[in-house]
Amino acid sequence: MSLQQIYDVEARIISVSNVRGKVYKMAIDAPEIAGTAKPMQFVNVALGDSTDPLLRRPFSLSGIYPDRGIIEITWAVVGRGTEIMAGWQAGQSVKVLGPLGNGLDIANLCLDHGLILVAGGTGLAPLFPPASQALARKAEVNVFYGARSADDLLDTGDLVTGCRLHLATEDGSTGFEGLVTDLLEAHLGVQGTGDNGKPTVISCGPKPMLKQVKHICNRHGFPLLVSLEERMACGYGVCQGCAVPSAGRKSGYYRVCTDGPVFWADDIDLGECTR
Amino acid sequence: MNLTTDLGGLRLRNPVIAASGTFGYGEDYIKAGDISWFGAVSIKGTTIAPRAGNPPPRTCETPSGLLNSIGLENPGAKVVIEEKLPWLAQFDVPIIANISAESCEEFSELAAMFARSPHVSALEVNVSCPNVKAGGIAFGTNPDMCYESTKAVRQVWQGPLIVKLTPNVADITSIAKAAVEAGADALSLINTLVGMAIDVNTMRPVLGNITGGLSGPAIKPVALRCVWEVSRAVQVPVIGMGGISSAQDALEFLMAGATAVAVGTGLLVDPEIPRRVTQGIREYCEARGIETLQEIVGAARR
């Protein structure tokens, strides 16, 4: 059990920008969170003083800048809460609870054989911090990133320097035409033939994609970590709402908010997952 | 300003309690808040055997409300008594053990288990959970069954005994009277209202359990009405809960007749809510020269 302190800060919004389409990015001045957050942790953002919408909204950190005391989140407008947030302005203050979740201890991960990141759509956002930390440790980082079309891809600018980027779009408007998992399969098929050690794979994106990535990694013997989403109420472990079915030794459910959001794929049952 | 209050023998430093199921056993809450902000804490509803809980999705936000169908996920009484309570006791805040069972025999056995723990200040008998198939709400919708289950606990537990009631009944006062007749020292009300939501894209119910319990500000008027009716019908103290998210909400419950209040869904949104509510009650009273909480309890009915 992690004893990391969770802060509830009244933070100033530094910037809100429309990345593309329905995707927005926000930088927040939150030194306590920026100073202690790990890659793939998340924050729970309050939507204001009104009770409707009632709950905070959880977002993975797409940027962690401890030196400047800044965190960044990236989101797609999918409902009322995210719509409200899209209207926010720089200078406004916002209540942010975090850092939340287990996150990723990059120092505990074997990077000798590199790191493979697999993302779909806005699922790329939480993978920016682990990518930059792995690069700082001189690891070879391969990023497989897919979306419906070129218009749906997030800006990969920050990743280009240092990472090997493999893009896929379903309509072929950029990169490989097809699913990112097909691109991944071809790559792992080649890498997986040798006896040498295998890189860890980390994946974030829609459930059907994660299921497919798990299938591919199992077939080729690659260790896989996935970052999950689930309907969440509290975000900090008290309500037990964000249950994900376990697989393997533990019976019952894990909580995405505190046991996750990062899980070894073998520990969870993605088949029963609801989204 | 004196904020202490008394719940049938259970003394509280302040009237704000953590509602069962929104605080766990404290070990996650402590990372975000301070347990000593509470007058007492009611632990997650505990059963004799461990329960895995209901299939997801387990929560769904509604206008100013929250539907949940957790399904009493808990590690079982043995683990709670041996591992959770000794840890939670170090914070020196009275622990209310919320217990749930499928029969009177089970209630009796469970109460006897908790009676052997030195860390339990009060028992809260859950006869109102809407999210489990057997037991739960069935005990709280029929006065005779409420009487029998309360009696079963009363016979093995000498300390303060609280019964948590459901609003999903035609006449909550008849259930309340049955609980008091069977020996309840205090009553908690209300538990959640049974509700549901449907996803028009999938054409399916949102919750894995189909129905769930509605909580949050949306249910506050219903809860207030229940507190009003019950505190007039019985002589024991009432703990008011249901949508409290501010000091003003808490004051309304106190004025309706509650001797203490609990925060539940509010705690999920704001871990600091107990501090905010306690502070707000204090400021309200001091501004008006009110010296004890008892001066406002039931004030709206005088």
| Distance from C-alpha of B270 to C-alpha of B256, rounded to nearest angstrom | 25
Q: How far is A162 from chain B (nearest CA, A)?
A: 36
Q: Choose the final residue of a domain: A181, A198, A223.
A: A223
Nearest residue in A to B52, CA atom: A252
Contact with chain B for residue A252, Cβ under 8 A: yes
Q: Per-residue b/e over B25-47, b at no fewer than 16 CB within 10 Å?
A: bbbbbbbbbebebbbbbbbbbbb
At A274, is the pLDDT very low, low, confident or very high (cuts 50, 70, 90)? very low
Residue B67 dihedral angles phi and psi, to the nearest 5°: -95, 135
Pair (A152, A94) in one structural domain: no
- Is A272 a domain residue? no
| Distance from C-alpha of B168 to C-alpha of B141, rounded to nearest angstrom | 7
Q: Tell me the chain A residues in contact with residue B53 when contact means C-beta distances shorter than 8 Å.
A: 240, 243, 252-253
- Is A232 a domain residue? no
- Is A130 a domain residue? yes
Pair (A144, A113) in one structural domain: yes
In a 13 Å sphere around the CA of A150, the CA atoms on its Cβ side amount to 5
pLDDT tens for residues A28-81?
Answer: 999 999 999 999 999 999 999 899 999 999 999 999 999 999 999 999 999 999
Pair (A94, A116) in one structural domain: no
Domains and CATH numbers, chain B: 5-53+72-194+216-301 (3.20.20.70)
Q: Which of B129, B146, B226, B285 is catalytic?
A: B129
Amino acid at A205: G
Nearest partner of B100 among B67, B76, B69, judged by Cα: B76
User: Looking at the 3D structure of chain A, how many domains does it have?
Assistant: 2
Residues A71-92, mean pLDDT to the nearest whole number = 96
Angle between helices B220-233 and B172-181 (to 10 degrees): 50
Catalytic status, residue B226: no
Q: How far is B17 from chain A (nearest CA, A)?
A: 15
Check CB contact under 8 Å for A54 and B31.
Answer: no
Pair (A151, A48) in one structural domain: no
- Is A70 a domain residue? yes
Pair (A87, A114) in one structural domain: no
Pair (A110, A87) in one structural domain: no
Q: Taking CB atoms and an 8 Å cut-off, how many pairs form between chains A and B? A: 115
Q: Which residue has the higher pLDDT, A196 or B110?
A: B110
Q: With pLDDT > 70 as the criterion, what percentage of chain B qualifies? A: 98
pLDDT tens for residues B188-230?
Answer: 999 999 999 999 999 999 999 999 999 999 999 999 999 999 9
Residues B99-103, mean pLDDT to the nearest whole number = 93
Pair (A168, A120) in one structural domain: yes
Please give the model's pTM, rounded to 2 decimal places: 0.94
Interface test with B, best of A238, A244, A275 (most B CBs within 10 A): A238
Q: Choose the final residue of a domain: A67, A100, A133.
A: A100
Q: Choose the final residue of a domain: A100, A115, A146.
A: A100
Nearest partner of A227 among A196, A194, A261, judged by Cα: A261
Is the sign of the CA dihedral A249, A250, A256, A262 positive or negative?
Answer: negative
Q: Per-residue b/e over B246-276, b at no fewer than 16 CB within 10 Å?
A: bbebbbbbbbbbbbbbbbbbbbbbbbebbbb
Pair (A96, A114) in one structural domain: no
User: Of chain B residues 237-296, which have a CB less than 8 A from chain A?
Assistant: 245, 265, 267-272
pLDDT score at A271: 80
Q: What's the ipTM?
A: 0.93
Q: Is residue A27 within 8 Å of A72, Cβ to Cβ? A: yes
Pair (A211, A123) in one structural domain: yes
- Is A215 a domain residue? yes
Pair (A135, A192) in one structural domain: yes
Q: Which CATH number characterizes residue A148's domain?
A: 3.40.50.80
Amino acid at A88: W
Pair (A84, A135) in one structural domain: no
- Is A243 a domain residue? no
Q: Which residue has the higher pLDDT, B6 or A1?
A: B6
Name the residue facing A240 among B61, B64, B73 (closest C-beta): B73
Q: Which CATH number characterizes residue A82's domain?
A: 2.40.30.10
Pair (A54, A161) in one structural domain: no
Q: How far is B221 from chain A (nearest CA, A)?
A: 14
Residue linked to tokens 């070879």: A140
Beta-sheet pairing, A224-227 with A262-264:
antiparallel
- Is A254 a domain residue? no
Residues B143-149, mean pLDDT to the nearest whole number = 93
Q: Per-residue b/e over A182-197, b at no fewer than 16 CB within 10 Å?
A: bbbbebbeebeeeeee
User: Residue A28 sits in which domain range?
Assistant: 7-100
Name the residue facing B32 among A1, A55, A97 (closest C-beta): A97
- Is A52 a domain residue? yes
Structure-block tokens of residue B22: 């929104």
